Every structure is written in C-alpha cells, then in structure tokens.
Amino acid sequence: MPEKIVPRSKDYSRWYTDVILQAELADYAPVRGCMVIRPYGYALWENIQQALDRRFKQTGAVNAYFPLFIPQSYIQRESEHLEGFSPELAVVTHGGGKKLEEPLIVRPTSETIINAMFARWIQSYRDLPLMINQWCNVVRWEMRTRLFLRTTEFLWQEGHTAHAAAEEAQEEVLRMLEVYRDFSENEAAVPVIPGRKSEKEKFAGAVASYSIEAMMGDKRALQAATSHNLGQNFARAFSIQYLDRNNELQYVWQTSWGLSTRFIGAIIMVHGDDQGLILPPRLAPIQTVMVPIWRGEEQRQQVMATVERVRQALGDGLRVEVDGREEYTPGWKFNHWEMKGVPLRIEIGPRDVERGQVVLARRDRPGREGKTPVPMGELAHRVPVLLEEIQASLLTRARDFLEQNTVQPTSHEQFKAIVAEGFARAHWCGDGGCEAQIQEETQATIRCIPLDQTRGPGRCIRCGKPAKEVAIFARAY
C-alpha cells in the first residue's frame, strides 16, 4: 500500500505537502528553499506550458530568451522596482575563480534586462508593438518556503510588451488577464476572480497591477497570475524611445504578465481530496489508467490481450497508461492512481472480458457512484466524452465552492467573521488606511478589486464613508 496522507480536514497544510510528496509531483532539494519538480509534476507543467503558449502566440507574442544574470546597476536604475526586490536577491560575486568588479543578480524577474534590450531594438513606430514572452527560471530569496507555492527558485513565463500608445498597453494588460482567466477556468478548471490590485498590493514597478484570484480548498486566496501596466516607468529608466509617424521621439508604454509553477499549487488545493490529487483531464499527464485484474497466468494473458485491444481502440489522441505490473495488487493500484489524481480508471477483469465490457471509475466521484460498466465497442466514443464531463464537473464544483464562500458583509463585525473563513466581497472607501487596519485586525488583504463592479454604491465596510469600489478581501497564500 502507498503511504497514507493526512486527511484534508485534519491538517490542510500537511495534507498539501503529503499529496505532493506521495503523488511524486515534487521533492525537497538539498538546497535551502529549492525543490525538484519530479517527472509527474513536470509533465503537468509541460501541459500547462502548451496550453498557455498556444494562447500567447495567438495574441501575436513570440518567445525569446534573456540572460539569467543582471548587472546590479540595472536593478538600481528603476528605484521603485528595487525597493520591492532588494531583500529577495541572490548575488553572484565570483566568476571564473575571481571576484567580479560588479556583482551580478540572479534574475528575480527580467524587466530590467529585457528593457535594456528593448531600448536597442526599438527605433521606430514600425518596431511596435513588440510582444515577447520568456519561459525561464527565476530566483527570489524567500524566508518561508512551501513546495510550489513559494520556493527560492521557480519556473514561470514572463511576457514583456512595448506599445506606441497608453491605451494599447492597457488593452494588452486586460487581454492577457483574460488569457489567464480563460486558461485557468477552461484548462485547469480553477475558477477565478479577475481584478485590479490595490496600490498597496501592486507590483512596485507598475502603474497598475491586475491578477486572477482563486479560492483554495481551505477558503484562502491564491494569486494565480498577474498582468501589469508598467506605464512609462521602465521606458524612462532605460530610455526606450521611438520615432513616431511625425518623426518625433516618444517613450513607449509597457506591460508585463506572468504565471508560475505556483499555479500547480492551486490545482492541487482546488481539486484534491482525502484520497490525494484530482487532476483536470485537459492538463492531466495521464488521462486514463487501465488496471487489469487477474488470478493466475492464464487469466492474466487473457485480460492483458483485451487491455491491449482497448488501448488500441482508444487511439493516440488520449494520454493512456496501462498498469500491468505483477508485483502490485489491483487494490494497491486503485489507491496509487487515485492518489496521483488520474481522472478516469478503466478496470478490466476476467468477467468483463467474458461480457465484452469494462468498468469506468471516475476520480471525481469516489466509490460505487462513480463506476459505470461500458460495452467495449462504445469505449472509443465514451471515454473522451466522460473526460470532458469530468472537466466540466470539476469546474462547476469549484465555482459553487467559490460562490458559496464569497459573501457580501453588511456590517464590520460580519466582515470579520467572513474573512476568517472565506472571501468577503465588500465596499471599500479606497483609502490605504482602512486597508491596513483591516489587515492588522484580520490578516485579510485586498486580493483584487474585481473588474465586475456591478454591485452598486455602498459604504466602506471599515470606516462607513461612501465607498469608491467593491473589493475582495481574504487571507491569502
């Protein structure tokens, strides 16, 4: 039997780590705060990459690669940006056996180095818009780390764009926010609230930051992706100028947007249960696992022959694994693949072979309820349909959970109770003082100011003054 994982309800935080280690998504590295992404976790990341990369390229963005090392002076050039990062930097002081004249920073994000190149490449309005994405590793010296959620090194993509007009940049910011929302909901089955960050929560180098915010299984928030309007902050710091159609020099308007391996943490926490992971079919490295059941060699051969036929019938379009290992029992395998979150299991025993059927078991509905016998002739049709049904049902379940646990408070007292165990959708005066006091009292922060502002006028949930807008308050990862 695989090792047990602690129940979610008993210790959510340990459950999370247990699932990652037992499902072999990742492992602790022998370097402080770093992790190893194991093949099963990396295959999930590869599927995330493909789903995003396709969407990025459809918007006209192209991929490129910029250096890992950034001269220290670059980071200092954009001072607000530096403030946000200085305590988090890893510094290379020696190279080739010698002390370096200027220390090099291991990139915590690439705005500075990319914009130094943009300044070289952008000369004319004909060079705009310039829309570049990079898949890479970045390093932030985190004090308290957790697998996937917060590690010293992590993988991500960072998009960086330059535009001729402020409005174009803002359009790009919202376009990419929508790309992330679409990816999150339609590939990962993770429902999100898209919105703007408050002044206090935004990226230090940005004029305005946007994010998609998801609700984890313990009702805490997780920022799943960000999209920043950088205005002309970096353009001025790095002199990124172009000649417009009237032959006049102008600074460009810029954006950056990113999603990281942290997103894997969201998938785990949104869908997982006491049996372990539950992966959304569109991103699952293994969509269907076939578990043959037999006693003795004769039965084994008979069953395995059928398994092979079924696998052929399912075709190349599906990611199918056959677990024909002889050293494990079917029961062990059921647990094993449930822990790994494979969305659909196909059980084939001697009786099934006789009857010309198999049993399909849905990972999202454990026990009898999720099991259906299906004639073999229908499998090639039924399995893809069922996978889409599981995909849809995961999204619906997570969306219901998010909606049920997002409450509009009518009083300050009620507000405190709500953010103790969920999201509060509350009116806010827009003042940073109220925001800070709320955080001090409840640990809840403004996750975002939703794009959807259709709740009408109201009064600030903290000070009672007329509200500027509605915000989502919650405790966050």
Which residue's structure tokens are 């990862």?
Answer: 477
Name the amino acid, one letter, at 127: D
Cβ at position 347, least distance to a second copy in Å: 23
What is the C-alpha R_g of the chain?
25
Q: Which stretch binds a second copy (CB under 8 A): 92-100, 159-167, 172-180, 182-190?
A: 92-100
Task: Please state, in angstroms and rounded to a whole number, the distance separating the CA atoms of residues 282 and 213.
Answer: 21
Query: Contact 448/213 with Cβ under 8 angstroms?
Result: yes
| Site string (60-79) toward a second copy, x via CB under 8 A | --xxxxxxxxxx--x-----
Q: Which stretch binds a second copy (CB under 8 A): 82-90, 361-369, 450-458, 466-474?
A: 82-90
Task: Please state, in angstroms and rounded to a whole number, the distance separating the CA atoms of residues 280 and 390.
Answer: 8
Name the DSSP letter for residue 32: T
Cβ at position 35, least distance to a second copy in Å: 7
Site for a second copy in 9-48 (CB under 8 A): 27, 29-31, 34-39, 41-43, 45-46
Nearer to a second copy, 106 or 173 (CB): 106
Task: Please state, in angstroms and rounded to a whole number, the distance separating the CA atoms of residues 12 and 5.
Answer: 11
Task: Tell me if 259 contacts a second copy by CB under 8 A.
Answer: no
Instruction: Check residue 97 and give left, alpha or beta (phi > 0: left; psi -120 to 50: alpha).
Output: left
Cβ at position 77, least distance to a second copy in Å: 12
Cβ at position 205, least distance to a second copy in Å: 19
Which residue's structure tokens are 């402080």?
Answer: 32
Task: Tell me if 190 contacts a second copy by CB under 8 A.
Answer: no
Q: Which stretch binds a second copy (CB under 8 A): 101-109, 312-320, 441-449, 461-469?
A: 101-109
Q: Which stretch binds a second copy (CB under 8 A): 120-128, 161-169, 189-197, 222-230?
A: 120-128
Cβ at position 252, least distance to a second copy in Å: 17
Q: And the tokens for 260? A: 């990281």
312 φ, ψ (degrees, to nearest 5): -60, -45
Task: Tell me if 263 contacts a second copy by CB under 8 A.
Answer: no
Provide the 3-class DSSP secondary structure of residue 365: coil
Q: Name beta bridge partners: 137.
A: 155
Q: Which stretch binds a second copy (CB under 8 A): 109-117, 302-310, 419-427, 437-445?
A: 109-117
Q: And the tokens for 288? A: 């269907």
Task: Tell me if 344 contacts a second copy by CB under 8 A.
Answer: no
Which residue's structure tokens are 């705009």?
Answer: 128
Query: Contact 343/288 with Cβ under 8 angstroms?
Result: yes
Q: Which stretch binds a second copy (CB under 8 A): 116-124, 316-324, 335-343, 379-387?
A: 116-124
Name the amino acid, one letter, at 305: A
Nearer to a second copy, 115 or 184 (CB): 115
Task: Tell me if 2 contacts a second copy by CB under 8 A.
Answer: no
Task: Tell me if 297 contacts a second copy by CB under 8 A.
Answer: no
Residue closest to 108 by CA, chosen among 154, 143, 149, 174: 154
Task: Tell me if 289 contacts a second copy by CB under 8 A.
Answer: no
Which residue's structure tokens are 């174009």?
Answer: 168
Half-sphere CA count of 80, side-chain side, radius 13 A: 13
Task: Please state, in angstroms and rounded to a whole number, the distance separating the CA atoms of residues 401 and 164.
Answer: 42
| Site string (145-174) toward a second copy, x via CB under 8 A | -------xx-x-------------------
Residues that bind a second copy (CB under 8 A): 27, 29-31, 34-39, 41-43, 45-46, 62-71, 74, 86-97, 103-104, 106, 113, 116-117, 120-121, 126, 132, 136-137, 139, 141, 143, 152-153, 155, 327
